[in-house]
Structure 1
Amino acid sequence: MALPAAQPAEVLRAWQKDDHYEKQLAGSMARLMPSNHASKAVPISSLLYKSFTTLNDLQTLGEEYSGIVQVDETYHKLPTFGNRLLSILLSAFGENLTRKVLRYAETAVEQNATLKPAVQNSLVVLFKAVANMLPQFESIHRALCYISGGPIQLGKTASGIDYVQVRPAAAAYYAHLRLLGMVTLLHAFVSCGQSIYQAKRHMDQMREFPNEVDSNKSCVACLEEIVQPCVLPCGHIFCMECSYGALETCALCRTPFLKNSVVPLMNYSP
């Protein structure tokens, strides 16, 4: 006889317990690590905690507390070693890896001389908007789990892992959890909408600037009036704060430049 699927409240309790223990482990590890590497304690603690439990065919402390067990999509077998390993890696490093891929794609677009500046700007803004929405994607997945059940971690869903109940769940009403899911879903959609609106607004502002800035009194990088103008090797002019700050490629023609090649224009007024 097949075991019943785990109730959303039991899955949530297990996730909260495991998250608590992982944070405790991360805090202890951070105190032992050099300060410049302390940020790595969170993914490493998650990897260690799940490796000693899930990867060894054992329940986590949270799963044991809630009486649930991981199963594959058939609900009759334990997940394969490969699926468990994939879920652990995605849970620990998935978001950071996705951000690195987006940054790599953004850099590749900026250095692609065959693309028109307008296309480059649009793609860069799009990649930045997707990166800003990554936490909201996780919130949407969590909200759907509150409403219809399933694992809280996006990595487990991507790996085809679910939960079954191995002992009777505590009697509870789940209407409040579904309500929480709908509120979380609404908040995530609103946040995504704001990111999309800001990206569209940024692209519209960039279209207002011509490719040449000879007679323009605004800096294309910060969209403010040029203060202490500097010229890049490509001939485009920006304010000193942007030229020696975050800019690594020209915001108009995407030509890379070095900071020591920037020339301040001491007596120049755009």
Structure 2
Amino acid sequence: MALPTAQPAEVLRAWQKDDLYEKQLAGSLARLLPSQHASKATPASSILYKSFTTLKELQTLGEEYSGIVQVDESYHKLPTYCSRLTSILLSAFGENITRGILRHFERKVVQNASLKPEAQNTFLVILKAMNNIVPQVESIHRALAYINGGPIQLGKTATGINYVHVRPAAAAYYAHLRLLGIVTLLHAFIACGQSVYQAKKHMEQMSQLPNEVDSSKSCVACLEEIVQPCVLQCGHFFCMQCCYGALETCALCRTPFTKNTVIPLMNYIPGS
């Protein structure tokens, strides 16, 4: 006899509980780690929490609270070890992996001398728009889960994991949750539309400039006009925010650099 599919509100309640416990664990880990590694506490806490529950074929605290259990696509068996492990890794690192892939393609476009300047500029702007849309993909998936049911995490959907009830639950469908899903979906689509509009606007601006990516006038890392210019040891110019941000190698020649080797140019005007 097949168990009933978990209702969206029960799945949401379980996810909220688990998210709360993971954040508490992340806070404790952040206090133990050096300050430069504190950002790693969040994915580490997610992996630790799920490794001692989901990976061992046990309910998480949130799932136990809501009375739901993970199942595979047949709704008769527990998910395989491979499916559970993949869903955990996707939930913890999926967004970072996607952004890393997009950055890889950006570097390939910049380094590809066979591309025409117009095509190069177009590809860079499109990749930047896709990078801005990445967070909205998860919001769209969450909204669809509110409306149609299913797991909140995109990683579980990608690996075919779903939920069933193991104890009686309220039969009523939560209309307010469906409304929340519609509102979340509209908000995500609006945010995606804004990203596409900004990309299109940027393309129009670039079409009025010389048909090349000029690293002395525009920052190749963020594709914006250089603000507070800095020069690296390799001689390429970037924004100060990019140099002291996530950038660890030159976006043009891939030369590694450290933050203490970045030279701010206080009286330099890009393109002069």
Q: The residue matched to 1:195 in structure 2 has which SS?
A: helix
8 Å contact 2:228–2:240 — kept in the other structure? no
Q: What displacement does 1:203 show?
A: 0.9
Name the structure 2 match of 1:119. Answer: 119
Q: Does 1:165 align with 2:134?
A: no
In structure 1, the partner of 2:134 is: 134
Q: Which residue of 1 aligns with 2:147?
A: 147
Q: C-alpha separation between the residues in 2 aligned to 1:22 and 1:225?
A: 39
Give the conservation status (yes or no) of the 8 Å contact 2:227–2:240.
no
TM-score (norm 2): 0.82
How far the C-alpha of 1:168 sits from its partner, in A, is 1.1
- Structure 1 position 211, deviation (Å): 3.4
Distance in 2, Cα, partners of 1:34 & 1:244: 23
> Are the aligned partners of 2:228 and 2:239 in contact in 1 as well (CA < 8 Å)?
no
- Deviations 1:182-212, CA, capped at 9 Å, x for gaps: 0000000000000000011101100111237
Partner of 2:76: 76
Q: Which residue does 2:3 correspond to in 1?
A: 3
Distance 1:131 1:244 in 2: 18
CA-to-aligned-CA distance 1:89-115 (integer Å, 9 cap, x gap): 100111111111111111111111111
In 2: Cα distance, 1:83 partner to 1:175 partner: 32
**Aligned ranges 1:178-193 → 2 under 5 Å:** 178-193=178-193
Q: Distance in 2 between matches of 1:54 and 1:45?
A: 14
- Give the drift of 1:122: 1.2
CA distance 1:223–1:125, change in 2 (3 Å): closer
The answer for the alignment partner of 1:95 in structure 2 is: 95
The letter for the 2-side match of 1:76 is H
Q: 1:114 is matched by which residue type in structure 2?
A: S
Paired with 2:158 and 2:241, the residues of 1 have a C-alpha distance of: 43
Partner of 2:17: 17
Q: Quick one: distance in 2 between partners of 1:124 and 1:8?
A: 39
Secondary structure in 2 aligned to 1:69?
A: strand
Corresponding residue for 2:28?
28
Instruction: Measure, in 2, the Cα distance between the counterparts of 1:227 and 1:126.
Output: 25
SS at match of 1:185: helix
Tell me if the contact between 1:126 and 1:199 (Cα under 8 Å) persists in the aligned partners: yes
Q: Structure 2 stretches of 5 or more lacking a match?
A: none
User: Percentage identity across aligned positions?
Assistant: 67
Which SS does the other structure have where 2:200 is aligned?
A: helix
Call closer, same or farther: CA 1:170–1:227 in 2, change over 3 Å. closer
Residue 39 to residue 212, structure 1, CA distance change in 2 (3 Å): closer
Q: Which amino acid aligns with 1:6?
A: A
**Taking structure 1 as reference, are residues 128 and 77 closer, same or farther at Cα in structure 2, changes over 3 Å only?**
same
SS in 2 for 1:163: strand
Q: From the superposition, tell whether residues 200 and 56 of structure 1 become closer, same or farther in structure 2 (CA, over 3 Å).
A: same
Higher Cα Rg, which structure: 1
CA contact (8 A) 1:151 1:162 kept: yes
Q: CA deviation at 1:219?
A: 3.8
* CA separation of 1:166 and 1:46: change in aligned 2, threshold 3 A: same
Task: Indicate the SS of the match to 1:113.
Answer: coil
Displacement of 1:256 in angstroms is 7.8
- Distance in 1 (CA, whole Å) between partners of 2:253 and 2:115 is 12
**Structure 1 length-normalised TM:** 0.82
Secondary structure of 2:69's aligned partner? strand
C-alpha contact 1:209 1:220 (8 A) present in aligned 2: no
The CA RMSD over aligned residues, in Å, is 3.4
2:202 corresponds in structure 1 to 202
Check whether the contact 2:228–2:266 (CA below 8 A) recurs between aligned residues. Answer: no
Q: Distance in 2 between matches of 1:103 and 1:151?
A: 29
- For the 8 Å contact 1:2–1:75, the answer to whether it is kept is yes
Secondary structure at 1:188's aligned position in 2?
helix
Distance 1:227 1:45, change over 3 A: closer
Query: Does the Cα contact within 8 Å between 1:14 and 1:66 map onto a contact in 2?
Result: yes
Question: Which consecutive unaligned segments of at least 5 residues does structure 1 have?
Answer: none
